[in-house]
């Protein structure tokens, strides 16, 4: 299976079942949508940011059908000016490469450095899909299992109302 072996081991340890879908690399939502069309789940957009000082990092997760500009996000998060985090920071804090951003990569954030902001509407769906730390596959898990996963990794999580 494509993805982080530690992730699959953890999902098994937590008794989180998943549906696995292998596909060509999908570094963008537009590419991924070609392969999601028959998968019943809330498909998420995942963005990784740093603050202007570079000492805080944020993972923002929301339904892929919503739009969100950085200025609006800055106002919602109250974390100051945001910029997309570099490939080096992505590797250091999440253990992934660009195009593979996922909240499941929080297993690699050993010091719980990354704060997760997640759209409240995600909780309304039954299932969610994410890359398993590689953009050559997607996995679908129950939304309740995502919440259990997040409780396990213990990163700070804040639920947001993203309207667009």
What CATH number does the domain containing 13 carry? Answer: 3.90.960.10
Work out how many domains the chain is built from and give that number.
1
Report pLDDT digits (tens) over 133-164: 999 999 999 999 999 999 999 999 999 988 76
Report pLDDT digits (tens) over 119-132: 999 999 999 999 99
The reply to whether 70 falls in a domain is: yes
The reply to whether 103 falls in a domain is: yes
The reply to whether 35 falls in a domain is: no
The reply to whether 16 falls in a domain is: yes
Report pLDDT digits (tens) over 84-130: 999 999 999 999 999 999 999 999 999 999 999 999 999 999 999 99
Give me the domain span that covers residue 132.
5-28+41-160
User: Quick one: three-class SS letters along the chain?
Assistant: CCCCHHHHHHHHHCCCCCEEEECCCCCCHHHHHHHHCCCCCEEEEEEEEEECCCCCEEEEEEECCCCCCHHHHHHHHCCCCEEECCHHHHHHHHCCCCCCCCHHHHHHCCCCCEEEEEEHHHHHCCEEEECCCCCCEEEEEEHHHHHHHHHHHCCCEEEECCCC
């Amino acid at each position: 299976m494509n993805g982080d072996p530690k992730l699959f081991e953890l999902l098994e340890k937590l008794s989180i079942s998943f549906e696995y879908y292998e596909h060509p690399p999908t570094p963008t939502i537009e590419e991924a949508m070609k392969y999601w069309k028959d998968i019943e789940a809330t498909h998420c957009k995942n963005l990784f940011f740093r603050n202007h000082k570079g000492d805080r990092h944020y993972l923002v997760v929301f339904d892929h059908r919503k739009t969100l500009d950085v200025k609006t996000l800055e106002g919602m998060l109250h974390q100051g000016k945001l910029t997309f985090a570099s490939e080096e920071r992505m590797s250091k804090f999440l253990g992934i490469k660009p195009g593979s951003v996922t909240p499941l990569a929080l297993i690699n954030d050993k010091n719980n450095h990354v704060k997760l902001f997640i759209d409240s509407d995600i909780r309304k769906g039954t299932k969610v899909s994410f890359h398993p730390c590689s953009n050559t596959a997607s996995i679908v898990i129950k939304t309740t299992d995502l919440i259990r996963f997040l409780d396990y990794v213990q990163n700070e999580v804040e639920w947001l109302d993203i309207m667009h």
